[in-house]
Amino acid sequence: MLMTIPDLLNTQQLEEIRALLGDASFVDGRLSAGRDAQRVKNNEEMASDNALNVKLNQLVLGRLYQHPTFQAAAMPLKLSSAFFARYGAGQSYGQHVDDAIMGPQGGQYRTDVSMTVFLSGPEDYEGGELTVETEHGEQHVKLPAGHAVFYPSGSLHSVAEVTSGQRLVAVAWAQSMVRDPQQRALLYDMYIVKEALQNVSPDAEATARANRSYINLVRLWSEL
């Protein structure tokens, strides 16, 4: 299930983030990639020891983590720090699957959900589309600045070559309380139904049944 979150960041937040990134140092993006991904990765990432990392993560991931759509659909248990990546002309990221386990020793997490927050808009660069293979076929994603997209980490995906301008994004991963993406999709559908019923008929028997079924399926499928 691929989902987007419009307007995660507003204009003021984007301006602050881009100003901070303008003062940051960037390194070869292959330094953070697994062995297989290194062959197809060609971008730059903000140095992981940069003092701006904490502030930038608070600005970007704080908004994402608190968003009700992300909470309901991704059901995050652990959230990674964000990587801030930029792609200039001629850079791309070939087709790959994200590593299953990330993070340092003692702080490792399973990657169930992959996220991209767009920090530059489609008008800022040519090319650079994110392509994700889903159950409905390939989906091409190039969203306005401030929008976010997330999808199962086991999906094949790529970033097309940027032919001009600069593509600036934040990427992160989450370990979900529900490992299976199909189960997460079903739970999200049930969440939407139960919320609608609670708004229209909070005291109806059907509402109580939907709520009970959702809660017990979360209990059945979650891993804590």
Q: Report the pLDDT value the prediction gives residue 17, as an integer from 0 to 100.
A: 94
Query: What's the pLDDT band for 118 if we cut at 50, 70, 90?
Result: very high
**Low-confidence winner among 27-31, 61-65, 125-129, 133-137 (lowest mean pLDDT):** 27-31
Query: What's the pLDDT band for 101 if we cut at 50, 70, 90?
Result: very high
- Is pLDDT above 80 for 147? yes
Average pLDDT over residues 161-183: 97
Query: What's the pLDDT band for 135 if we cut at 50, 70, 90?
Result: confident
Average pLDDT over residues 100-115: 93
Q: Report the pLDDT value the prediction gives residue 49, as an integer from 0 to 100.
A: 73
**Low-confidence winner among 63-67, 85-89, 129-133, 187-191 (lowest mean pLDDT):** 63-67
> What percent of the chain stands above pLDDT 70?
100
Q: Report the pLDDT value the prediction gives residue 218, as an integer from 0 to 100.
A: 97
- Is pLDDT above 80 for 172? yes
Domains and CATH numbers, the chain: 3-176 (2.60.120.620), 181-221 (no CATH)
Tens of pLDDT, residues 11-46: 999 999 999 998 888 998 887 777 777 889 999 999
- Is pLDDT above 80 for 105? yes
Query: What's the pLDDT band for 223 if we cut at 50, 70, 90?
Result: very high
Three-class secondary structure assignment of the chain: CCEEECCCCCHHHHHHHHHHHHCCCEEEHHHHCCHHHHCCEECEEECCCCCCHHHHHHHHHHHHHHCHHHHHHHCEEEECCCEEEEECCCCEEEEECCCCEECCCCCCEECCEEEEEECCCHHHEEECCEEEEECCEEEEECCCCCCEEEEECCCCEEECCEEEECEEEEEEEEEECCCCHHHHHHHHHHHHHHHHHHHHCCCCHHHHHHHHHHHHHHHHHCCC
Whole-number mean pLDDT of the chain?
A: 94
